[in-house]
């Protein structure tokens, strides 16, 4: 039983060319068009879309192999099997933003 558990960090990654950025672009256009046609309601819809896009602009990757993981709830990397559980290093509150 000397199998070593590989420990890695989840890394939060901004994706400028991803789905989130596309939504943000649509949101900006919607803001202008809806704002011009619907007034403040249209602007609010655009802003809401923009915020939604911001949430989609992030993805989590494995700090060990760099592969994409499902989110911050993932405990083990599906690719390299690295564990994201905090191995007693005591920096659970630290995130790379």
* Look-up of token digits 């939060």: 12
10 binds Zn ion (CB under 5 A): no
Rounded to a whole number of angstroms, the minimum distance from the CB of residue 4 to Zn ion is: 15
79 binds Zn ion (CB under 5 A): yes
* Contacts for 11 with CB less than 8 Å, ≥ 6 apart: 60, 61, 62, 63, 96
* φ, ψ of residue 60 in degrees (nearest 5): -105, 135
Contacting range for Zn ion; rule: CB under 5 A; set: 15-23, 25-33, 37-45, 77-85: 77-85
Contacting range for Zn ion; rule: CB under 5 A; set: 23-31, 40-48, 54-62, 89-97: 54-62
**Per residue in 29-65, is it b (16+ CB within 10 Å) or e — as a string?**
ebbeebbeeeeeebbebbeebbeebeebbebbbbbbe
82 binds Zn ion (CB under 5 A): yes
64 binds Zn ion (CB under 5 A): yes
61 binds Zn ion (CB under 5 A): no
Footprint on this chain of Zn ion (rule: CB under 5 A)? 62, 64-65, 77, 79-80, 82
């Amino acid at each position: 039983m000397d199998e070593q558990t590989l420990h890695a960090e989840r890394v939060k990654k901004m994706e400028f060319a991803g789905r989130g950025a596309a939504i943000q672009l649509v949101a900006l256009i919607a803001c202008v068009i809806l704002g011009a046609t619907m007034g403040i309601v249209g602007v609010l819809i655009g802003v809401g879309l923009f915020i939604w896009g911001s949430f989609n602009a992030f993805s989590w990757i494995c700090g060990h192999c760099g592969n994409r993981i499902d989110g911050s709830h993932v405990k083990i990397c599906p690719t390299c099997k690295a564990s994201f559980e905090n191995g007693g290093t005591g920096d659970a509150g630290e995130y790379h933003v």
